[in-house]
Amino acid sequence: MEFRDVMLRRRMVREFSAEPVQSEVLDRVLEAGLHAPSAGFAQGLELIVLEGAEQLSEFWRITDPRGRKHSNDRPPPVVVVPLTDKSAYLKRYAEPDKQGLGMDVEEGWPVPYWDLDAAMSVMLMLLAAVDEGLGAWFFGIFHGESALLECLEAPEGLQPIGALALGHPAPGERRRGSATKRPRRELEDVVHLGGWA
Ligand SMILES: Cc1cc2nc3c(=O)[nH]c(=O)nc-3n(C[C@H](O)[C@H](O)[C@H](O)COP(=O)(O)O)c2cc1C
């Protein structure tokens, strides 16, 4: 698929068919996430992949106890939890070529690039999913973060930036969410040529 088509077709898909995602397709989507840029090429991202009734029901039980996100009967067959590893960035920026920037401590970072880089990886996976004919949905984890980390046996210090659901769109699935209620901003409203004018 042409890049522009992938970009324009991408939207969050929130209802999935029961069809499983083939492992080689899933691998290609996950692999796309490894092509994201990252500060100092620190690559402080880990991807936990949850599949199957046991893992997924545990994920939803912990993160969505009121069943608001998965209350529909068309849940995703795969959920990826991207975890950021801030310590990888602090370690990387303590290396000789980065010394003196003061970024070997968290306070030295003007922006938490571990989160930014993870978002870039997620974006690539969202696009790769479209390219593979899958639907994908990024959503926040607003509940049970520490219980989830414990359940996943994630090493200390790792943090989820949200979750990425993947699967085949359910028949009849249609756009939902905020994008159906709010217009996309126009280019001339967003772009400020030469300054704020
Ligand atoms: C950081 C971030 C958090 C989001 N959290 C949620 C969420 O918790 N639940 C949800 O249904 N959608 C969530 N979304 C999806 C947005 O609602 C969606 O991207 C936006 O409405 C634009 O629609 P589109 O992606 O379908 O074009 C999130 C998107 C981003 C980038």
Dump pLDDT digits (tens) for 161-192. 999 999 999 999 999 889 999 999 999 999 99
Kindly report the average pLDDT of the chain as a whole number. 96
β-strand pairing of 158-160 with 163-167? unpaired
- Ligand 1 atom closest to 161 (CA): 1
Rounded Cα distance, 63 and 75, in Å:
14
Ligand 1, atom 7, residue with closest C-alpha = 139
**What string of H, E and C letters represents the secondary structure of 159-191?**
EECCEEEEECECCCCCCCCHHHCCCCCCHHHHC
Q: Would you state the torsion angle of the CA atoms of residues 183, 17, 6, 30, taken in this order, to the nearest 10 degrees?
A: 120
Residues with CB under 6 A from ligand 1: 11-12, 138-140, 162, 177-179
- Residue-level pLDDT at 67: 84
The structural domains of the chain, with segments of one domain joined by +, span: 3-190
Ligand 1, atom 14, residue with closest C-alpha = 139
Q: Which of 124, 119, 155 is nearest to 30 (CA)?
A: 124
pLDDT, one tens digit per residue, over 89-145 is 999 999 999 999 999 999 999 999 999 999 999 999 999 999 999 999 999 999 999
The one-letter amino acid code at 121 reads: S
CATH number of 3-190: 3.40.109.10
Ligand 1, atom 27, residue with closest C-alpha = 11
Ligand 1 centre from 13 Cα, in Å? 10
Nearest 5 degrees, angle CA 139-CA 10-CA 82?
35
Rounded Cα distance, 179 and 183, in Å:
7
What is the pTM (predicted TM-score) of this model? 0.97
- Residue-level pLDDT at 73: 83
- Ligand 1 atom closest to 178 (CA): 21
Ligand 1 centre from 20 Cα, in Å? 23
CA pseudo-torsion sign 28, 30, 36, 40: negative
For 143-156, what is the mean pLDDT? 97
